[in-house]
Amino acid sequence: MGPTISGDTPSITGSLPPFTVRALGLKESAERLRGRYQSAHPFPHLIIDDLFPENWLLPILDAYRHRSDWQWQCYDTALQKKTATVPNSDLPSHVQRYFDFVYSGPFLRLLTSLTGIENLLPDPSLFGGGMHVVSGGGHFDLHIDFQKHPQTSLTNRLAMLTYLNPDWDTQNGGNLELWTVRPSARAVEIAPHFGRTVLMEQSKIAAHGHPTHIKPGLERKALIAYFYTNDATADMKSTTVYVSRPGQSASARLQIALHNTLPTPIVRLLQKVRRRVRARMTHRSRGR
């Protein structure tokens, strides 16, 4: 069942309690949170614990256990290793309700009051967003997100991540890192605890990632949504840009150079060839 609008507050009925802006766990005023967001280093961001009630998130966490029922895309390169739901795919009902809610008018207005970004627009296709899972050994190296949506050409202005990892230890890997670009240095490290939501402004300097590999046997789960404005310029990139950082291997730096300079079709072809070579090597090693 889809959202029903009542006044300024959409509510989603069914087996879950109503999803309403008034039910959110904001422990500080919007004005104070906006001040924290806008003054944050190294670029505007905001960490809010328990923004969404636990009884909203637990059914979503349970949906991840039935992931074979949904459409997933795997990313397996030297710079990232994760899986995410495919854009425009059907999602579990509890998950879809979450995205319907965060893309509703009242929640968009709340985001404007928290960030100061006017006229935010949703993306029902969930390009780059949706359900994300990073399994043991997975990571996502330092990068800057796409500046412009490749289909709508809207400007990517804000990312929102809600983590779903009960009893997560900071030593498990997968902490979200926010970096300065010049000089390249880690400024903030955020553990992906259950119920933690991060708002992160998107720009040419918004370098972030979780380069530390997840411990074997664990999974890092997150819901990701992007928000847009209608003011894109022709020079904005529609692809991810990777950023070099201290401690990277020569192989990773080469991958970054190739990814950031070659046309996207060539990069995808090289990735496809790399996967085939790895698959053949794995097959041969098993046959010994």
Whether 12 shows a pLDDT value over 50: the answer reads no
Cβ atoms 161, 190 nearer than 8 A? no
Mean per-residue pLDDT over the chain, rounded: 87
Distance CA 134, CA 131 (A): 10
Nearest to 61 by CA among 15, 92, 21, 84: 92
Asked if residue 189 lies in contact with residue 177, where contact means CB atoms within 8 angstroms, the answer is: yes
Q: Does 36 score more than 50 pLDDT?
A: yes
pLDDT (tens digit per residue) in 172-222: 999 999 999 988 899 999 999 999 999 999 999 999 999 999 999 999 999
pLDDT of residue 5: 31
Place of tokens 């009925």: 13
More confident residue, 285 or 161: 161
Asked if the model's pLDDT at residue 45 lies above 90, the reply is yes
H/E stretch holding 269: helix 264-287
CATH architecture type of domain 21-237: Sandwich (2.60)
pLDDT band at 48 (very low <50, low <70, confident <90, very high): very high
Is pLDDT above 70 for 270?
no
Residues contacting 235, CB < 8 A, separation 6+? none
Confidence of residue 6 (pLDDT cuts 50, 70, 90): very low
C-beta atoms surrounding 4 within 10 Å: 10
Q: What is the pLDDT of residue 256?
A: 72
Residue 1: is its pLDDT beyond 50? no
How confident is the model at residue 3, as a pLDDT?
Answer: 36
- Residue 212 CA to residue 180 CA, distance in Å, equals 17
pLDDT at 62: 94
- Across 76-85, 94-103, 237-246, which has the greatest mean pLDDT? 94-103
pLDDT tier at 77, thresholds 50, 70, 90: confident
Give domain limits for the chain.
Answer: 21-237, 249-288
The pLDDT of residue 135 is above 70: yes
pLDDT of residue 142: 94
Question: What is the rounded distance in angstroms from the CA atom of residue 33 to the CA atom of residue 28?
Answer: 7
* Cβ–Cβ under 8 Å, residues 142 and 208: yes
Whole-number pLDDT of residue 269: 55
Within 10 A of 224 (CB to CB), how many other CB atoms are there? 18
Q: Kindly report the pTM of this predicted structure.
A: 0.84
15 vs 29: CA distance, rounded Å? 30
